[in-house]
Structure 1
Amino acid sequence: MKQTGCREKAVKGFSLVELMLVIALLGVLSVISVPGFLRNLPE
C-alpha cells in the first residue's frame, strides 16, 4: 500500500493560507517602509 500524507502535498506548492500570510507580510512591510523612503527622496 502506498501512503499519501501531508509531506507529499507540501512538495507540490504552497497552500492558500501560506500565500495569504506572505502577501499580508509584504503589505505590512510596504506600509512601514514606503513613507520613510519617500521622505528621504531629494526634492
Structure 2
Amino acid sequence: MGSNYNQVLRPAVVFVSEGQARLVVARETYEDLARRDR
C-alpha cells in the first residue's frame, strides 16, 4: 500500500518467478505525483 506522504515517489513492483522477472507496476514519476497533487 503506497502513499504520497512527504512527496515520496512510489517504487516499481516486480514479480520474480523461476528466474524470470516481470514488471507489474511501473515506478511513479514526478509528473504522476504532480498530477495527483492538484
TM value normalised by structure 1: 0.27
Per chain length, whose mean CA-contact separation is higher, i.e. which structure has more relative contact order (CA < 8 Å, sep 6+)? 2
Greater strand content: 2
Larger Rg belongs to: 1
Greater helix content: 1
